[in-house]
Structure 1
Amino acid sequence: MAKKRFIHHPIDYHEAMERLEQLGQQREPRQENLYPYPITERCSAVLGVSPMSDCIKKREQILIRLYSYYQLGMTPQRFYQKWDLTQEDIALICSCSAHTVNGWFNTSRRCNPPTAIHLQPLAIMDFLLEDFETIPKELFDRLCLKEERM
């Protein structure tokens, strides 16, 4: 007998943010890292019967559901019109070939449309170009530095 697959239902953004704020108030931040405990520390927290392990687990579940239903994306055409960059620049941002990007703009032939994998980097780049001056350095470094985080 096939195992039933659990399907998550979309989560209301405002309710989720309100719940995250409540969960954040229930725990004390660690001094060396003001971010809540990472997922990888949950095992040791559970083994040590940390009083915050349930709070952390709920927080992570809410964040994962928020992220998984979020549709971050910008079409290449809209990005091109807004920033007037070359199609080669768009290819660099999307980590694909210039030939692929040219296909998205060429209406005379049938080409595969851009996927979420292509639309998301364009939306992030739009955010960076538009709001660079207001982005905290720590966030910018996390988005743009090419270093191992493990």
Structure 2
Amino acid sequence: MTPVTFLAADDTQNAGDWAARTGWVVGLLLVIVLLYWLMREGWKWRGLLQSDLPELAQVPADPGEPRLTMAGRYHGSTKAGQWLERIVAHGLGVRSRADVTLTDAGLTVRRPGARDFHVPTSALRGARLDKGIAGKVLTEGGLLVIT
């Protein structure tokens, strides 16, 4: 019969190293908090840079008879031709549910938990169905893009 040798690791050296482990955990948590703070500051800075954009039009008291209504999710606004540069000024960067209503007065976007806005008819250029935006891919025709 072949002899079997068991080797046991000496765990007594690492068992009392709680200070180092705690230091690593606290350090990791501080890095995570710092990253979130930097993202928040970047969001605020982008809003400050875009603060020269005109205020959003208020929803009219009586917009008229609805021609089209739909419910969905508001993903964001970008500058025309720059689909990666998301606008965050005036609350446009907040993703939320949305109810969109098209009338003769224009397009009204009602967003619970975020600021509602209205796009007058004179400012509307067109609309198309698409399948994706930066960071979001949907099925073909799953995204309504309004210019």
TM range, smaller chain? under 0.3
The structure where strand makes up a greater share of residues is: 2
- What TM-score do the two structures reach when normalised by structure 2? 0.26
Q: Which has the larger radius of gyration?
A: 2
Q: Taking CA–CA contacts closer than 8 Å with sequence separation of 6 or more, which of the two structures ends up with the larger relative contact order?
A: 1
- What TM-score do the two structures reach when normalised by structure 1? 0.25
